[in-house]
A and B are shown apart, each in its own frame.
Chain A
Amino acid sequence: MSKARMVAGFAVLMLVLAACGGDDGGTTPTEGVQLIGADGLLSTTFVEIPETAGMFFSGPALAGSGYEEFLAKYEAKAGSGPIQSFHAHAYDATNILFDAIEKVAVENGDGSLTISRQGLRDALYETKDFQGLTGTLTCNQYGDCAQPAVSVYENVDPAESLGGVFSNVRFTSEPEGAEGKTGPAPGGQATNASVTVAAGDPIKIAALEAISGAVAALGDDQVTAIQVAIDDQGEIKGHPITLQSEDDTCGAEGGQAGAEKIVADKQIVGVIGTSCSGAQRAAMPIFERNGFVMVSGSNTAPDLTATNYLGEGDLVVGESWKYGFFRTAHNDEFQGQGAAQFVYENLGLRKAATIHDGDPYTQGLVTEFGKFFEALGGEIVLATSINKGDTDMRPVLTEIQAADPEAIYFPIFQPEGDFVVKQAREIFGS
């Protein structure tokens, strides 16, 4: 193809595009579209951006008490406030583990403690009405311990930062029939292992969180919260508690490597983690094989415990369910449903578009949202996605504009969330 022909062809294409097209959408931006994010964007650096004023966020319901005191202790320890939103769940996760250890540990005559791993598992599954920061925790046989409620918050004034957002609760879901719903027994093999903590030795627990890389804020928050929980607990039956912190790099390989390192130390009683569901899927088989328990303050993928909380019929065992895994964070089925209900009923909007960023968590969440929104009678006009690392969101927002939604649900992370919000204001107006 000669140069001239190529350039000519290209120019013709541009002119054709510039001239044609459907009816002209007008030269001014369309009237405002409601933007809704999720807990990935509930971070101080995001909500302080001026363009986020008026945005809604679906996120964990903080239904318990004692959050202010906890926050004060957290800030004393870390030197600054938490950046992400799952720190309180990590605190609760650590505490139900301590509770179980206390119930199960047997004091021997010589001052040592024996903790049976199977006993620990059973005690955790029997956790009932535990008062935590995030609400009343009761664990079912699949490992879901959180109250099945989510909240939607509004960012009224970016200057008030995250604290302000959390104080503006606009909606809290009440999924009927979800609490107490049951299903088939998931199975699982018992273990004979046990841990003996010698007299004077500490009880060791481990944390497997994402403490490096782009999501380091999430993991760091959780580790600080765990440390606050350790300080608050002090001792269990006369033995102090120490923490070994491992990195799951928010990925399968990191999760597996960290898990291998943890199970190599047979003195570790239990694990708090992981930060990301991807790491959990690789780590939990190793923990299950060795009888270890893991309680997560931030894994929300539905298939890690059970699904069909909100549908007809019994609960279905999650595809990646593992014996000995518990979580104090909500199951994303609830978040998808809660957000959908909020948009449909509270905001009265009927047409929504969704954006995910290729992360399994966000993609799962928009899928749940879409399912429930359409079940309520709404319409998902466009379900699209961007990539992590993208900076120019204008083409995808142009596509969304053409689909004419009333709301956009984009449960993604920073910095992509920043770009979406700022550029959406350009394209959709405020």
Chain B
Amino acid sequence: MALAETSVQRARDVDLSRAPRIGAVFGIAVIFISAIGMVGTFATRSMIGSAFSLSRVLLALLAFTAGYVATQPPPQLEGYRVAEPSPRLVGVGSIAGAIAGAMLGLFAILVDSISIRDIFVEFTPELVGILTFEQGTGLGFLLLLLLGSALGAAGGAVRLMSARIRRALFAAIGWTLGLALLQILFTQIFNSLQLDFLTRLLYRGASGGLSVTSAPAVAVALFLIAYAGQGRVKKAVTGFRGLQGEAQRKATVAGMAVLLIILGALPHVLGNFLSSAMDIAGTFLLMALGLNIVIGFAGLLDLGYVAFFAVGAYTTSVLTSTSGPAFSPELTFWTALPFVMMAAALAGLLVGTPVLRMRGDYLAIVTLGFGEIARLITLSDWQASTLGGAQGIANVPPIPVGPWNLVEAQEFFYIIFGFVLLFAYITYALQASRMGRAWNAMREDQAVAEAMGVNIVAAKLWAFVLGAIMASLGGAMFAHRVGTVFPHSFNIIVSITVVVIVIVGGMGSVPGVIVGALVLVGLPELLREFEEFRFLLYGVVLIFMMLKRPEGFIPSRRRQREIHEDEVAQDAWLRAETERQREEEAAGSTGPERT
């Protein structure tokens, strides 16, 4: 059977027909973000100096990416030698970028000439001005064309660099832009670590972004760091994973200790506003850890998770508030906690029992229904005497810890992340337990699991009950942090956000869920400008992740194997075949060839 070495055919280094196609796709993308208002809204946020607003940076990035994607090497076919990238790539990239730029220019001309502002609200003269650099549509079109092709060329040129340089370059650009965008975060960190000079050095004013001098300097510095540090991080991680027994245990304990120290110091470093953002992310994280069990372990898609959140919040509010509607025992958080957990368990049973025999999709819709039912009951006039109705329940006291009351966001941080650590530990314990194995079996094939003796009913009910308890604790935290509970806070958006965190972060994986919560909830709190487009971005991220990486950011190994089981099977087959052929050759077999 012919193998790779015998062929001398050379592959092309680039697929020319891609350039116009990719250019058109990115052209649509830049027109899209202009038409929906991102360009207009972000024009006021300066990233680097006064000339580079966020919208300019975004458009530039898109043009650059057009060039980069257009020059993607074609898939490596068996029997072909991989081609070396040639300077042609620059030309190809510039074509793609030019097309994108030209489309944007044409769009600007269109907006300028026809007045359809009553229909498309963003097609304003201001938009034209931003797009054409205030130079009028003719000159603007030329500028966009040239800039687009230059940036696209750069995107192509980047392919000529070695992989190491390229990765370092992307890291440098990414981190520089991150520094500019998350100015609030970094300013706060630098100032609280007594590094005020860094703040003054890097940034222009309170929200002006990086200065024109500091940005390139920072980029270069980061590039050097990234270049030098490449490979080391990966080596460290593999090294850690490779440790056995005693050494691994020691390393884990050391790692835990470092983590705890960082968490302990974090609220003081972050200050009040950022701690508050972390508190919100932490509340969602508590819920996500619970939903992780329901979806990630047991495989039950629950779209009405907010119901349990509401149960926890309302139970604790009714029991602890000083101005509760009817029944106001005014307990403390800790004395109310057992009741919260009992109410949660009951709710879990109530939701779990009817759906025991339902199929996946039906389960999703029915749980969605339960979520809405919960919200409607808390809102209703019918239950207003106990639950407050539209007015909600006010004056929920803060959580007492010893002699102190946890009132400030920074203080609250500790208790939330205390619970996060507890839940994470519980999750790991469950994963290794008998129940965890039962869930795995049930998730992979329910009929077979049942035949093998796994108690499906118990497994499902336990999943719901545990998930409910965790969500309810999150709800209780929420109620005590905000001080009032309104039914409007317990809507379906919350359920879906938690589902997105679990799925995009990585189903069944605790680090994945943590990263998911921080990125999907923590980040939007910092980037308030994006608030209008938050759900649009959620949608895009969801679609993108499902198309490219359905197992999530940081998947659990198991899930990854499950989702890609076809590919895993193919890989295994290929490996086995290669092994077999090698053995045959080694044994000098001349038997009948098998394909």
Contact = CB atoms under 8 A, between A and B. Distances in A.
Interface of A: 212, 246-247, 251-253, 256-257, 260-261, 263-264, 278, 281-282, 285, 289, 303, 319-320, 356, 358-360, 362-364, 383, 385, 387
A363 B389 contact: yes
B531 A260 contact: no
B394 interface: yes
Contact of B486 (A257, A360, A385): A360
B273 A260 contact: yes
Contacts of B409: 260
B457 to A, nearest CB: 24
B323 A252 contact: no
A282 B394 CA distance: 9
B483 A281 contact: yes
Interface string B473-494: 0000000011111111100000
B390 A257 contact: no
B528 A282 contact: no
Interface string B504-540: 0000000000000000000001001001100000000
The 4 closest A-B pairs by CB, nearest first: A363-B390, A264-B273, A260-B276, A260-B273
B416 interface: no
A364 B391 CA distance: 8
B394 A320 contact: yes
A356 B277 contact: no
Contact of B489 (A246, A251, A285, A364): A251
Interface of B: 271-273, 276-277, 280, 323, 376, 379, 381, 389-392, 394-395, 407-409, 481-489, 525, 528, 531-532
A240 to B, nearest CB: 16
Contacts of B280: 253, 257
A253 B272 contact: no
B-side interface mostly? helix
A204 to B, nearest CB: 10
Contacts of A362: 390
A264 B394 contact: no
Contact of B487 (A260, A319, A358, A383): A358
Contacts of B528: 246-247
Contact of B394 (A319, A358, A363): A319
A360 B389 CA distance: 8
Contact of A247 (B391, B486, B531): B531
Contact of A285 (B271, B391, B483): B483
A263 B272 contact: yes
Nearest to A320: B394
A251 B484 CA distance: 11
B407 A360 contact: no
A406 to B, nearest CB: 23
B482 A256 contact: yes
Contact of A252 (B276, B379, B482, B525): B482
A-side interface mostly? helix
Given A257-B525, A319-B395, A385-B381, A251 B488 contact: yes
A397 B575 CA distance: 71
A256 B275 CA distance: 12
A28 B353 CA distance: 49
Contacts of B381: 363, 383, 385
Contacts of B376: 387
A320 B395 contact: yes
Contacts of A363: 381, 389-391
A256 B407 CA distance: 12
Contacts of A257: 276-277, 280, 525
A218 to B, nearest CB: 16
A360 B276 contact: no
Contact of B531 (A212, A289, A358, A387): A212
A278 B376 CA distance: 18
Nearest to B376: A387
Contacts of A264: 271-273
Given A253-B280, A256-B276, A282-B482, A360 B392 contact: yes
B483 A359 contact: no
A212 B277 CA distance: 19
Contact of A360 (B272, B273, B391, B482): B391
B33 to A, nearest CB: 18
A320 B392 CA distance: 13
A256 B395 CA distance: 14
6 contacts: A247-B528, A252-B489, A253-B482, A257-B280, A257-B525, A289-B408
A278 B488 contact: yes
A212 B532 CA distance: 7
B69 to A, nearest CB: 33
Nearest to B408: A289
B150 to A, nearest CB: 36
A359 B390 contact: yes
Contacts of B481: 256
A387 B389 CA distance: 12
